[in-house]
Amino acid sequence: MRAPAWLPMSVRRPLRVLRRYFRLGVRRFEYASAPARRAWRRSLQLRVVALTLVASSLLVGAFGYFVAASSADILLLRAQDEVRASMDSKVDYAISQLTVHPRTKDPKLPSTISTIVIALADGDPTESGGSIVSIRAERFPEITPFTSAKVDTRQLITDDLIADVAGRRKKATQVRTATINDDTVKYLVYGTPVPTGFGQVELYYMVPLTTEDSAANQIRTTVLVTGLALVILLGVVAGLVTRLVVNPVRDAARTAQRLSAGLLDQRMRVDGEDDLALLAASFNQMAANLQRQIVRLEEMSRLQRRFTSDVSHELRTPLTTVRMAADLIFAERDEFDPAVARSAELLQAELDRFESLLTDLLEISRFDAGFAALDAEHTDLVPICERVAERLTGLAERVGVQLDLRLPDTPVIAEVDPRRVERVLRNLVGNAVEHGEGRPVEVTLAADDAAVAITVRDHGIGLKPGEERLVFNRFWRADPSRARQTGGTGLGLSISAEDARLHGGWLEAWGAPGEGAQFRLTLPIRSGDRLLSAPLPLIPRDRTPAAEPGVMGPDAAEPAVEVV
Residue 46 backbone class (left: φ over 0; alpha: ψ -120 to 50; beta: rest): alpha
Closest-CA residue to 536 (of 412, 425, 444): 444
Predicted local distance difference test score (pLDDT) of residue 5: 60
Task: For strands 441-447 and 403-406, give the pairing.
Answer: parallel
Predicted local distance difference test score (pLDDT) of residue 277: 80
Share of the chain above pLDDT 70, in %: 88
pTM of the model: 0.47
**DSSP class of 100:** T
Predicted local distance difference test score (pLDDT) of residue 451: 93
* Lowest model confidence (mean pLDDT) among 351-355, 478-482, 552-556: 552-556
Contacts of 510 (CB under 8 A, 6+ apart): 463, 468, 517, 518, 519, 520, 538, 539, 540, 549, 550, 551
8 Å CB contact between 535 and 406: no
- Higher confidence at residue 259 or residue 451? 451
Residue 552 pLDDT > 50: no
- DSSP H/E element including 195: strand 183-195
Residue 545 pLDDT > 70: no
Q: Residue 487's pLDDT band (boundaries 50, 70, 90)? A: very low
- DSSP H/E element including 374: none
Predicted local distance difference test score (pLDDT) of residue 129: 53
Contacts of 137 (CB under 8 A, 6+ apart): 104, 143, 145, 199, 200, 201, 202
- pLDDT digit string, tens, across residues 329-349: 878 877 788 888 888 888 887
* Lowest model confidence (mean pLDDT) among 186-200, 207-221, 465-479: 465-479
Closest-CA residue to 440 (of 427, 457, 415): 457
Mean pLDDT across 163-175: 86
Predicted local distance difference test score (pLDDT) of residue 352: 76
Share of the chain above pLDDT 90, in %: 12
Predicted local distance difference test score (pLDDT) of residue 478: 58
Q: Which residues of 107-145 are buried (b: 16+ CB within 10 A; e: fewer)?
A: eebeebbeebbeebbeeebeeeebbbbbbbbeebeebeb
Q: Helix, strand, coil: what percent of the chain each, to 5?
A: 55, 15, 30
- pLDDT digit string, tens, across residues 85-100: 888 888 888 888 888 8
Residue 482 pLDDT > 80: no
Q: Residue 488's pLDDT band (boundaries 50, 70, 90)? A: low
Give the number of other CB atoms < 10 A from CB of residue 543: 18
Give the number of other CB atoms < 10 A from CB of residue 534: 26
* Lowest model confidence (mean pLDDT) among 265-279, 336-350, 494-508, 538-552: 538-552
Q: How many CA atoms, within 13 angstroms, populate the side-chain half-sphere of residue 438?
A: 1
- pLDDT digit string, tens, across residues 275-313: 778 888 888 888 888 888 888 887 877 776 677 667 666
Closest-CA residue to 441 (of 492, 497, 393): 393
Q: Residue 395's pLDDT band (boundaries 50, 70, 90)? A: confident
Instruction: Measure the CA–CA gap between 344 and 329, rounded to whole angstroms.
Output: 6
Closest-CA residue to 143 (of 132, 135, 151): 135
Give the number of other CB atoms < 10 A from CB of residue 95: 16
Instruction: Measure the CA–CA gap between 34 and 37, rounded to whole angstroms.
Output: 5
What 3-state class would DSSP assign to 559? coil
Q: Residue 483's pLDDT band (boundaries 50, 70, 90)? A: very low
Instruction: Measure the CA–CA gap between 413 and 380, rounded to whole angstroms.
Output: 4
* Lowest model confidence (mean pLDDT) among 238-242, 331-335, 373-377, 389-393: 331-335
Residue 481 pLDDT > 80: no
Mean pLDDT across 542-553: 46
Predicted local distance difference test score (pLDDT) of residue 558: 37
- pLDDT digit string, tens, across residues 235-282: 888 888 888 777 888 888 888 888 878 777 888 888 777 777 888 888
Instruction: Measure the CA–CA gap between 327 and 351, rounded to whole angstroms.
Output: 10
For residues 497, 499, 501, 506, the Cα torsion angle rounded to the nearest 10 degrees is -60
- SS3 string, 509-545, reads EEEECCCEEEEEEEEECCCCCCCCCCCCCCCCCCCCC
- Higher confidence at residue 301 or residue 115? 115
Mean pLDDT across 52-73: 87
Strand ranges of the sheet holding 132-136, from the earlier edge strand across to the other edge? 146-147, 132-136, 200-208, 183-195, 172-180
Contacts of 234 (CB under 8 A, 6+ apart): 52, 53, 56
Backbone torsions φ then ψ of 127, nearest 5 degrees: -110, 165
Residue 367 pLDDT > 50: yes
Mean pLDDT across 101-130: 76
Residue 37 pLDDT > 90: no
- pLDDT digit string, tens, across residues 431-441: 899 888 888 99
Q: Where are the alpha helices (DSSP H) in 332-417?
A: 338-369, 381-391, 393-399
Residue 519 pLDDT > 90: yes
Residue 561 pLDDT > 60: no
Predicted local distance difference test score (pLDDT) of residue 214: 85
- DSSP H/E element including 284: helix 275-331
